[in-house]
Amino acid sequence: MYRNLYKVMACAAVAMGVAACDNDDLHIAADGSASDLLGPDTNVVYVTDAQGKRGETSISINGSGTINLYLQSSKAAVSDCGAEVMFDTDVLDAYNAANGTSYPLLVWSRISIPSNEMTLAAGQTKGAALPITISGDGQLDPSLTYALPLRFVPVNDQFAAGDSTMVVLVKDYSTFPGADKTYNGAPGMKMMAVLEVNDVNPLNVMGFTLKDSGKQLFDMCVLFAANININATTGLPYVYCNDNVQAILSNADTYIRPLQERGIKVVLGLLGNHDASGVSTMTPEVSALFAQEVKTVCDVYQLDGIFLDDEYTDYDSAASGRYPGFQTRSTEAASRMMYDIKQAQPERLMISYRYQDLYSAVAINGVEPGQFVDYVVNDYWVTSDPTTTYPGLAQDQAGTGSWNCSDWSLCIPSNSSWTACFSLEGMREAGYGTMMVYNFTCNPDFWMTSYILKDLGETTKAFYNAELEYDGSWYTKDWN
């Protein structure tokens, strides 16, 4: 047996004994089940990932990546307490035996973990995140899933009853071709597929690649869309997901990770939902709070960014003064939301759909929009350059010639009205950096599919001087 003990959590002092963390009796749960509670007065301490899952979690990395684990308890701790985390191959042996799997071990040398003390503070039920950074360095087989086995044990065994384990399943997709494409040696334009996920399975964007390089055609997949709503109890905005959006997020290993493994960024669409809260109606204080809510959603589901759309807000209610925290709609408020979201998670994409109060943007705290927005895409038929209304935005951050693959608009290159306004080669030559394909679908039963496929092939030639390869797959909506 190979075991490496690494202490990352500690009670204030062993000499404090049971009193250090005692809420009647403190136990660390083996699997979080009711049988671990041992009575109504027992306090159970357990370990979860960001989604609250116990015992098992997963992460897809591109060369390297970080997953956060949390120490939690069923009741608020009386005083500071904690536990140790151990790298323990016995945990993996037991897991493989119980599940009929044969996951290979992710060796400890590929793990980086902070040496600072991490505690569950008095009065709290959830501790700060323990970040575990995993480095594949291109040495992990992308066809395999590796396992990092961990065991968590309370520091003071006077109050310990059992222990808790976690198996972190890891895939490194850094050796896949990815989605970064070129044209004559220069970075190529980014293709953005926006999916109406009430009807379309996100896996459908994976089937399109460049024939010779194997690169993915689509660089980004936008899940359209989650909503902004007011919490009736707190009066604050929150991210609301309907059943379809939530099903995809809750089953990220099925619908999101396969895209990310191939280098496709998965972005959450976000817009208003018929109350006073929206992209352009929050006060500065509430905007900053909401940005943290957005970050939490992105953290939990390991998303790559946010796509903001200013629609369906009750602007009159926002301006009425009846709702503290909301105000008359404005470009400044919309700009601040983009700024706040980018400030909260600078490593993630901030994409603006150039419509209504997002048609233009202004500097926030002296920072120009081009510094806090990664991409701005035009509404359908809009031919003006987004750089003219987003100060500091570079040309390769702008997108025009947007498609709408629905049967009413015919807003695709097969339509002569589209080609009268836009040129695929012209957009590339002008230095535009992205193009949005809204309501993307290749459902074989849809009458426009043949036109969409033809136009995607022409786009591939114009943007990358390459031939499109489509594997012909069509994934149906298979969630309830």
C-beta separation of 376 from 398 below 8 A? yes
Q: Give the H or E element holding residue 89.
A: helix 89-99
Catalytic machinery residues: 311
Tell me which residue of 351, 302, 407, 348 sits closest to 193, measured CA to CA.
351
Q: According to DSSP H, which parts of 257-382 are helical?
A: 257-261, 284-301, 315-319, 331-344, 369-372
Q: How far apart are CA 249 and CA 260, in angstroms?
A: 13
Q: What are phi and psi of 421, to 5 degrees?
A: -100, -30
Q: How far apart are CA 399 and CA 435, in angstroms?
A: 5
Distance of CA 426 to the CA centre of its chain: 33
What token pair was written down for 118?
């991490």
Beta bridge partners of 186: 183
Q: Which residue has the tokens 């569950």?
A: 120
227 residue type, one letter: N
Strand partners, 364: 367
The number of residues in the chain equals 480
* Neighbouring residues of 214: CB distance < 8 A, sequence distance ≥ 6: 177
For residue 225, report the phi and psi dihedrals to the nearest 5 degrees. Answer: -160, 155
Q: What is the DSSP string of 207-257?
A: GEEETTT--BS-SEEEEEEEEEEE-TTT--EEEE--HHHHHHHHTHHHHTH
What are φ and ψ of residue 159, in 5° steps? -115, 5
Contact, 79 vs 121, CB < 8 A? no
Task: Report d(CA 47, CA 53) in Å as an integer.
Answer: 8
